[in-house]
Amino acid sequence: MIEARELSKRYGELRAVDEVSFTVERGEVVGFLGPNGAGKTTTMRMITGFLPPSDGTAVIDGADIFAQPLDARRAVGYLPETPPVYPEMDVSGYLRFVASLHDVPRRERREAVDRAIERCGLSEVRRRVIGQLSKGYKQRVGIAQAIVHSPPVLVLDEPTVGLDPIQIGEIRQLISELASPRDGESAHTVILSTHILPEVEAICRRVILINRGRKVLDQPLAELTAGGTRLEEVFARETSRDEAPAGEASA
């Protein structure tokens, strides 16, 4: 579903992302881990087509991000670090706008918007202006805009950052449901970036760890935590390896 081939992003001498390759199969939920500034956001921006890689490429649902950029982007639902919402629009108007940007046919648009609203628990606020919503609701609107066109691939960049514990629980629940939905809905392939480890343990089945722009680990969660090893220990071990002088890429 997602195939990253030696993705690199250089800013002058700085290698923000350095030959990162991985594959994510349909219906998988992968945790994309790394310390702040490891290159998580940059990698996601390359997969979603916001930034072109300096080297390498990615194939999303059979579409190469260079050769068929529009098809590749159509296959992705993306929640950036800050939900990309227009504060002056109301929730359903905004979702209709996003649906039409993503080529949801006019006839199906209302249904798509209703479905996204229902799944993200936004029914009570659908007529409210986004700028007046709480942070938790804005985040949900961000997720709703990522799933409104039912993309096969979901890319979520720190979806729970800055939320209160109850909201975090709700968002995690929502992401789990998106990956293994009820009958009649297709499963999303999810890449989730975070540096909150319990989040990974709660929803991901596989972990990709990057540090200083390089992939250092790519394993099923079950294997990593086999024998009672805690994810914190793995994280600490992998990110402290070959401790070099600072020069972190800002993500």
Partner 1 sequence: MRHVGTIAGREIRSLFVSPVAYVVLTLWAVLGAVFFLSSLAQFLEGIARLQQFRAFDQLREVNLNHDLIEPFFGTMWILFIFSIPAVTMGLFTSEKQNRTEELLLTSPVTIWEIVIGKYLAVAAFVTLLVGLVAFFPGLLFVYGDPELGRTLTGLLGLFLVSLTYAAIGSFASSITSNQIIAFFIGLVILMVSLILPLAAELGAASGFLGSENLMADLLRWMATAEHVQPLLEGLVDTRNLVYFAVMAGSFLLLTKAAVESVRWR
Among the listed residues 6, 10, 51, 201, the single contact to partner 1 using CB under 8 A = 51
Q: Tell whether the torsion through CA atoms of 212, 217, 222 and 226 is positive or negative.
A: negative
Among the listed residues 14, 70, 226, 236, the single contact to partner 1 using CB under 8 A = 70
Of the candidates 35, 29, 33, 36, which has an alpha carbon nearest to the alpha carbon of residue 2? 29
DSSP string, 79-108: E-SS----TTSBHHHHHHHHHHHTT--HHH
Among the candidate windows 29-37, 87-95, 166-174, 239-247, which touches partner 1 by CB under 8 A?
87-95
Structure tokens at 98: 């996003």
Looking at the Cβ atoms of 68 and 225, the one nearer to partner 1 is 68
Q: Which of residues 130-169 bind partner 1 (CB under 8 A)?
A: 145
Q: How far is the CB of 172 from partner 1 (least distance, A)?
A: 23
User: Judged by CB under 8 A, does residue 207 bind partner 1?
Assistant: no
Among the listed residues 52, 162, 169, 247, the single contact to partner 1 using CB under 8 A = 52
Among the listed residues 100, 150, 167, 225, the single contact to partner 1 using CB under 8 A = 100
Looking at the Cβ atoms of 87 and 169, the one nearer to partner 1 is 87
Q: How far is the CB of 218 from partner 1 (least distance, A)?
A: 24
- At CA 46, angle to CA 88 and CA 185, rounded to 5? 70
Order of strands across the sheet that contains 206-211 = 76-79, 153-157, 189-194, 29-33, 206-211, 214-220
Give the SS3 label for residue 241. coil
Among the listed residues 89, 161, 197, 216, the single contact to partner 1 using CB under 8 A = 89
Residues that bind partner 1 in the complex, under the rule CB under 8 A: 45, 48-52, 70-71, 73-74, 76, 78, 80, 82-89, 93, 97-98, 100-103, 145
